[in-house]
Homo-oligomer: A and B are copies of this chain.
Amino acid sequence: MNVMNDSPRRKELTRQAAQLFVQEGFDRTTVRMLAQEMGIKSGSLFHHFRDKQEILAAVIEEGTENALGIARAALDDCDSNPASRLHAMARAHLETLLTDRNAHVVALYEWRRLDAPARAHLSHLRDAYEALWEEVIDDALAAGLIRGDRFLVSRFVMGALNWTVRWYDPDGERTPDELAGELVAMLTHPAG
């Protein structure tokens, strides 16, 4: 019937869908709204995506892959000092909000709207991202840089960072680097 590969056209449509999903929420975004934003008619949309769910899955997949890529690159560019690795992860997280905000927000806040198969497929990506965080936090704990329960600390930190999408303005004064620095400063204790 139609081709479900990841053509450049589909990539672009996915990007536009993400924008609308953020603005309106997945449920309130109709296929007619999506089509209008894309400059086509609603019927044509189903040439690129099997159904509305698949659009959501495509958006989330891209957002999570992007975040994962940025985080891995940040860690690779980094020495083995736990403090700088913590800082690098926080900065990477905030930088995804600069480069790919919409997809990232959708991944965070519309996850529940995925049907079971899509969720199963995408949870691996998500787990990989969270595993990076837990590794960095484990190192910071072991080095005595931060203190507390492993499970709780990672949840608190992820919470603080994920919440940034509600107030952080990428066009504002603060750079991701500064913000990451502030977070790490708040969490860490003077060495020794």
Contacts and interface: CB of A to CB of B under 8 A. Distances in A.
A157 B160 contact: yes
Interface stretch (A41-49, A68-76, A161-169): A161-169
A146 B190 CA distance: 12
Interface string A164-192: 10110000000000010011011101100
Contacts of A113: 25
A148 interface: yes
A20 interface: no
A47 to B, nearest CB: 26
Contacts of A186: 146-148, 152-153, 156, 187
A8 interface: no
Contacts of A163: 155-156, 158-160, 162-163
Given A182-B148, A190-B189, A160 B167 contact: no
A42 B55 CA distance: 32
Contacts of A152: 179, 182-183, 186
Interface string A121-165: 000000000000000000000000011110011011111111110
B185 A147 contact: yes
A166 B109 CA distance: 11
Contacts of A160: 155-157, 159-160, 163
A27 interface: yes
A155 B161 CA distance: 10
A185 B148 contact: yes
Contacts of A162: 159, 163
A182 B157 CA distance: 13
Given A25-B113, A152-B186, 6 more contacts: A152-B179, A155-B163, A155-B164, A159-B161, A159-B164, A159-B166
